[in-house]
Structure 1
Amino acid sequence: MTPAVNQAKKAGVTYQIHEYSHDAQQSSYGEEAAEKLGIATARVFKTLVVQLDSGGLAVGIVPVSGMLNLKQLAKAAGAKKAAMADAKDVERATGYVLGGVSPLGQKKRLPTFIDASAEGFDTIFVSAGRRGLEIELAAGVLARLTNGRFASLAQGAG
C-alpha cells in the first residue's frame, strides 16, 4: 500500500479505499476518478501544492469541480501571494508523482488547507497516493490527520 493508506491505517480512522484502472491518456485525474467511481465531482478533492511568497510550500485541497483560488489560499496561509509549485518541488516534498499526490503520508508535512465545501459531505475522496487509487474519509478526519484547516479556497465549484 501507499504511505497515505498506511497513515490512515496506523491512525485507526474509518476510511475506504477505491481503486480503478487509470487511463494514461487522461490528464484530469480527479474528474477521471469521479467518473470511474460514479460519484459527484464536488465530492472528489484534488491535492494541490503551492509555493508561498514567504518561501515555503503549502497544500490546498479543493473539489475537482472547481479551481484553487490562489489569493484565498495565500490569505489562509498568512502569505501575500501563492503560485502553483514546481512539479519537481512537489514530488520532492510529498514523495508522490503529480496526479497521485495525496494529502496523507507526505514525506514532509506541509501546512494544509481544505476547502470548506468538504464539510458539507459525510465523506470525501482524495488521492490515496497513486493514480487510480482514492481514499474516502470524513473531512474532519482528513483535517485531523493533516493538521489541516478549513477555508474558502475554491472558485467555480459546482
Structure 2
Amino acid sequence: MTPAVMVAKKAKIDFFLHEYSHDPTAVSYGMEAAETLGLEADRVYKTLLVQLSGSKESLVVALVPVNSQLNTKAVANYFKAKKAVMAEPIIAERTTGYLVGGISPLGQKKVLPLLLDESAMACKSIFISGGKRGLEIELDPNDLLALTRGKIAAIKKSG
C-alpha cells in the first residue's frame, strides 16, 4: 500500500483504486492511465512539481488534466513569483518520495502548497496517481483539496 492510499484510507474519504498494467515504454504516464482504464483524459490529473523563483515558496505542486499543459506563468502569478519552471525529476522524486510517473499529491514526504486546476471542479470525481505507476485513485476533487489544503486556480494552458 502506497503512502497516498494510506492517507486516503486514514481520512475515511470515499475513493476507488484503479490498477492497470503499466507499460514501461509509455511516453505519457497520465495518458497511458486514461487510455488503459478507458477514462476521459480531462478527468485524469497529472501531478507536477514546480520550482519558483522570487517567492517565499520554492517548490509547489500543480495538478492539471493529462491532456493539458501547465501554464507556468499562471502558477508564478498565483504565488507572486518572478518565474516558475518545472522542477528537475531528481528534485521531484527526492521531495515527494515518489518516482516520476507515479507522483501522487497525497502522502508526499514534504507538504507543499498545492494548486488544482479549476476544471476539476466540474467533475464529480477525478483520478490522481496512487503513488506508483499503474495505480490511480478516484476521488472527489473537494476531498483532494481538503486532504492537501489545496487551492483552485486556472493553471492549465488554454487552447
TM-score interval, normalised by the smaller of the two chains: over 0.9
Partner of 1:9: 9
Alpha-carbon offset, residue 80 of structure 1: 2.2
Partner of 1:31: 31
Amino acid at match of 1:71: K
The whole-number CA distance in structure 2 between the counterparts of 1:156 and 1:78 is 21
TM-score (norm 1): 0.97
Where has structure 1 moved over 4 Å in runs of 4 or more?
Answer: none
Partner of 1:66: 68
Identify the match of residue 152 of structure 2 among 150, 153, 157: 150
1:7-156 equivalences in 2 (<5 Å): 7-53=7-53, 54=55, 56-156=58-158
SS for the counterpart of 2:131 is strand
SS for the counterpart of 1:108 is coil
Alpha-carbon offset, residue 78 of structure 1: 2.6
SS for the counterpart of 1:129 is coil
Please give the root-mean-square deviation of Cα atoms over the aligned residues, in Å: 1.0
Whether the 8 Å contact between 1:46 and 1:64 is mirrored in structure 2 is yes
The whole-number CA distance in structure 1 between the counterparts of 2:59 and 2:151 is 15
Alpha-carbon offset, residue 155 of structure 1: 1.1
Alpha-carbon offset, residue 88 of structure 1: 1.2
The whole-number CA distance in structure 2 between the counterparts of 1:78 and 1:122 is 31
- The runs of 5 or more residues in structure 2 that have no matched partner are none
The whole-number CA distance in structure 2 between the counterparts of 1:143 and 1:137 is 11
State how many pairs are aligned. Answer: 157
Alpha-carbon offset, residue 156 of structure 1: 4.1
Alpha-carbon offset, residue 52 of structure 1: 0.5
Whether the 8 Å contact between 1:65 and 1:156 is mirrored in structure 2 is no
The whole-number CA distance in structure 2 between the counterparts of 1:148 and 1:76 is 13
The whole-number CA distance in structure 1 between the counterparts of 2:63 and 2:3 is 18
Alpha-carbon offset, residue 27 of structure 1: 2.2
Whether the 8 Å contact between 1:76 and 1:113 is mirrored in structure 2 is no
Whether the 8 Å contact between 1:20 and 1:37 is mirrored in structure 2 is yes
Whether the 8 Å contact between 1:70 and 1:83 is mirrored in structure 2 is yes
Amino acid at match of 2:41: T
- The runs of 5 or more residues in structure 1 that have no matched partner are none
Give CA-to-partner distance per residue, 1:109-150, whole Å, 9 cap, x none: 011000000000000000000000000001110011111000
Percent identity (aligned): 53
